[in-house]
Amino acid sequence: MKLIFRPYSKTSFGLSLGLTIFYLSCFVIIPLSSLVFKSANLGWSGLLEVFSEDRIQKALILSFGAGGVAAIINLFVGFLFAWVLVRYDFPGKRILDSLVDLPFTLPTAVAGIALTTIYSPKGWIGQFFEPLGIKIAYTPAGIVIALVFIGFPFVVRTVQPILEELPKELEESAFCLGASRFQTFTKVILPELIPSLLTGTSMAFARGIGEYGSVVFISGNLPGKTEILPLLIVTKLEQYEYAKATGIALLMLVLSFTIMLAINFFQNRASRRLG
């Protein structure tokens, strides 16, 4: 019996497209549009006044700076995890593979409390740095550690399937042609992984700049020093400064969208080169 594939009808396409647009409007477009319209009531002078505040500028630099540093660390740490899980067999491999998803399932507040307990001056790890005069918790270093913890699974889970599907024949051919292991990695393997590495890193960065629960405890929330933008938004709301809160939120939205757009541009450019 010969099976004949029939393309989907226009009716099913219209229904699927309608549901997609409805979902996108309810959960993305309408909330973000309301944020933009609410911030527009401030006017340009009001927005410039919000952005010129020293406390907001320092929180902005800290949030995006710590998010960028954590994303770069996650790029290498996530790739290393993915490489080990794909290329090697060892006892406890399945357990390690399951632990990678722990930051996804663990409540962020629990992660923040655990990290603060470990890296505080009297914690399991912090106590060894305290005599050297090095503080981890309640400093920007602690914020970076928290963002690395919640961000590295994105890189692992985007690189791992690409690495698993990479044909072994490519490496064998390069080896037969006289390429060294380093040349095989840089010329054969790495170019295939660049799009997925950029995707995972951008997702980790986006998660990091908007993270609240895991950072609020370990940061110490010192204004002008360890205060992040999401916490500052909550602080402004508690002080009934709704205009400034929406202005900060709009700033995060514009900067995040611009950075993600640039990352997607370079990712598509790398994919076209590989193609």
pLDDT tens for each residue of 95-145: 989 889 888 888 888 888 889 889 988 888 888 888 888 888 889 999 999
Q: Is residue 205 part of a domain?
A: yes
Tokens of 146: 């928290």
- Calculate the average pLDDT of the chain: 82
| pLDDT recorded at residue 122 | 86
| Residue from 136, 143, 139 nearest 67 by CA | 143
Q: Is residue 40 part of a domain?
A: no
Q: Is residue 67 part of a domain?
A: yes
120 backbone dihedrals φ, ψ, rounded to 5°: -70, 165
CA–CA gap between residue 145 and residue 116 (Å, rounded) = 10
Torsional sign, CA 101, 102, 105, 107: negative
Tokens of 211: 């993270």
> Which residue has 């599907």 as its token pair?
165
Q: Is residue 39 part of a domain?
A: no
**Predicted structure pTM score:** 0.82
Domain around 105 = 49-272
> Which residue has 């010329």 as its token pair?
187
Torsional sign, CA 149, 152, 154, 157: negative
CA–CA gap between residue 146 and residue 178 (Å, rounded) = 44
Q: Is residue 97 part of a domain?
A: yes
The 10s digit of each residue's pLDDT in 42-77 is 667 767 777 778 888 888 889 889 999 999 999 999
**Distance from CA of residue 96 to its chain's centroid?**
21
Q: The CATH number of the domain where 67 resides is what? A: 1.10.3720.10
Q: Is residue 73 part of a domain?
A: yes
CA–CA gap between residue 28 and residue 169 (Å, rounded) = 44
Q: In the predicted model, what is the mean pLDDT of residues 9-16?
A: 68
Q: How many domains does the chain have?
A: 1
Q: Is 88 helix (H, G, I), strand (E, B) or coil?
A: coil
> Which residue has 């001056």 as its token pair?
121
Q: Is residue 7 part of a domain?
A: no
Q: Is residue 38 part of a domain?
A: no
Q: Mean pLDDT check: name the lowest of 80-84, 114-118, 187-191.
A: 187-191
